[in-house]
Amino acid sequence: MYLVARQGALNRFRDHTRVPRGQLDRHFDNYDKAITVLIPSYAEEPAIVRYTMWSAALQEFPSLNVVLLIDDNPNPTDPTTLERLNETRALADEIVDTLAEPAAHFRAGYEQWLADRPRSTTPEHAETVAGYYREAAEWLETMAEREAITDHVAEFFATQVLMNLASDLRLNLLALNAAVELGESPDAERISELYRRLVWIFTASAFTFERKRYASLSQEANKAMNLNSYISLMGGSYNIEHTAGGDILVEHDERNPEPAELTFPDTEYLLTLDADSQLLRDYCIRLVYLLEQPENENVAVTQTPYSSFRGAPTRIERIAGATTDLQHILHQGMTYYGATFWVGANAVIRKRALLDIAETQTVGGFVINTYIQDRTVIEDTESSVDLGTHGWTLVNYPERLSYSATPPDFGSLIVQRRRWANGGLIIMPKLLQQIRARRRTDDRMRMGERLLRVNYLMSIAWASFGLLFLLFYPYDSRLLSPLVFIAALPYFLAMGSDLRDCGHRFSDIFRIYGFNLVLLPVNLAGVFKSFQQALTSEKIPFARTPKVSDRTASPAWFVLMPVLIVAFSLLTLWRDATIGHWGNAAFAAFNAVLATWAIYSYIGVKNSVVDFVLGIENWLYVDAKPKPSAQNGDITVEGVAATPAVQWESILYHGDRRLNRDLRRTSDRRRRLTKTSK
């Protein structure tokens, strides 16, 4: 499947033609549609979120709304957490205030040009617009120089986001100066397009929204419901009503002469962007242009599968980034066969496609709309299948226009990869239903698409169990044919070539192999979580990948298992060498060496010992549970029965149904505690 997807990617890269800048400008002339950038954020470092928001705000798009969806507790008690939250809240205003001056300046220049627009242009007109381009480039270069380069992510923002945009503007400046020297000038329409481009770049609205402030919105702790909460409000106006259960949003009555307290603009397109990702300057304009081509009217989602930031300081981050860069190639190949899956780090989405797959439920008396499914922790993958069931398709744009962070340590990598391994088995029945449904239509799922989709959902499960079998089953070497290793050569050679083309080393194929060995227990844990969810029908809590400056501790089990793999491989090496099974011995030696190197390079000997000791300590010591108190209607077990406090505001607001339910619970609990106390 790797080779099949790779071949499809090579075909797409060969046939791709980059749309010229002038054609993009003409397409968006007098454009009246807008795009909303949704950036879900939870416990993120403000500096990381700032890079993401700026990369979105500087997109070259006619109308752009950047919304930071903060999912932190809105009222933290810890001073450090509150300080970080306030810094994050201030980012939107910082961007708007910083852009206000250049935006007003370039808009005034454009309006002056429209007021004086001549029938024919002269070199003086070209020289004037060239001056504006020089000012814009200098503004971006000054901002880049003021950036504190603390790590490779900050360096990427300064060089690839700010300086590359400045370089592109200077390229236009070079062309305009050349025209002036020749006594020529672009025509009036082209000069109008050049002015508009500057206005697009420096004009953006930015604000924050916190769903946890409002009891009427979903409180599910996952990224999908954070996005769904805002999407459900788009296009509406609301007032805030204070109730005993918390603030709620009530639709604004149009007959009310007073303006609504909150208004959420509606847009035809959405851009979902993880808070640790960055976009290159023309991401929005190129992907929306793709969606608006006549042949793509059924495309619901388009994206550029993200690549890794270059220059990672740790070995594990560099190798994890290498696997991410390979995935960019494979996802392009999956589009070639019509097997695209939505990769949630970034995507441009037609909002009406999400309306097609929306589900509605009532929770606590409030209507909750779900567009992006949160049944599994890989919500984007399940939504891809839902969109396909409703006749929509997905497309990967064959350029690298988005970049995202990879976990810098083994602890945070465990959280990410365990989440990736969890959910494919649960989504598989939906895919099988879609295959059966399409058999009855003219759009039958072809074999290439079917195999790639099944492989994408299931490969972590069967590859993990297969590797487990190869490592631990004491099979006879006579059962092992040399053809098995020869058959694997094209895969490893192709992967090495792809790694080299992505800026990595050919020898990274061995490092990735060792990397996968230490991740084996992590992948298995994710697979078993899928079994658990399938049996219990309960949602698995969404575990966000930690993005903190300090190291994330690893669970003791995931530190111990790689050591056991090395120990068993050495035992197998000794046993097979003793009885002359040299093929098995060589394979065991290969695994022992690469797993040992992976432990040393990616986990660290010292970190392994520390995390293992902490894991044992956390298992042995359990915090004492506080005794039930008489506060808030609880009953003490010391024989002092307290009457439940009457929440009069709740009674007046919610009515008798919720009251009766709460009283029944309290009464049942009181009977149990009274019986225990007797």
Rounded to an integer, what distance in angstroms lies between the CA atom of residue 207 and that of residue 184? 43
pTM: 0.88
- Using the predicted structure, report yes or no on whether residue 72 has a pLDDT greater than 80: yes
Number of H helices, E strands in the chain: 25, 15
As a whole number, mean pLDDT of residues 26-30 equals 89
Under DSSP, is residue 243 helix (H, G, I), strand (E, B) or coil? strand
- 30 or 296, which is more confident: 296
Q: Are the CB atoms for 342 and 381 separated by under 8 Å?
A: yes
**pLDDT higher than threshold 50 for residue 632:** no
Residues 129-157: tens digit of each pLDDT: 999 999 999 999 999 999 999 999 999 99
Q: What is the dihedral of CA 328, 332, 337, 343, to 10 degrees?
A: 60
Place of tokens 């990381």: 48
Tell me if 619 sits within 8 A of 560, measured CB to CB. Answer: no
Query: Quick one: pLDDT at residue 527?
Result: 87
Q: What letter does residue 307 receive in the DSSP assignment?
A: E
Q: Which residue has the higher pLDDT, 650 or 362?
A: 362
What is the C-alpha separation between 303 and 34, in angstroms, rounded? Answer: 17
- pLDDT category, 579, cuts 50, 70, 90? confident
Structure tokens at 65: 């709304």
Distance, in Å, from the CA atom of 69 to the CA atom of 193, rounded to the nearest integer, reads: 33
Dihedral pair phi/psi, residue 208, rounded to 5°: -115, 155
Taking a C-beta distance cutoff of 8 angstroms, is the pair 57, 64 a contact? yes
Q: Among 292-301, 408-417, 634-643, whose mean pLDDT is lowest? A: 634-643
Q: Is 319 helix (H, G, I), strand (E, B) or coil?
A: helix
Tokens of 633: 């209607």
Collapsing DSSP states into helix, strand and coil, what is residue 348?
A: strand
502 in Cβ contact with 608 (< 8 Å): no
Long-range contacts of 478-481 (CB under 8 A, 24+ apart): 480/583, 480/584
Angle between helices 520-536 and 556-579 (to 10 degrees): 120
- pLDDT tens for residues 526-559? 888 888 877 777 766 655 565 555 677 888 888 8
Ordered strands of the 393-396 beta sheet:
205-209, 64-70, 35-41, 269-273, 346-350, 299-303, 393-396
Residue entry with tokens 């399938």: 534
Tens of pLDDT, residue by residue over 456-508, are 999 999 999 988 888 887 776 666 677 877 888 999 999 999 999 999 999 99
SS (H, E, C) 502-520: CCCCCCHHHHHHHHHHHCH
Q: What is the mean pLDDT of the chain?
A: 86
Tokens of 563: 């050591």
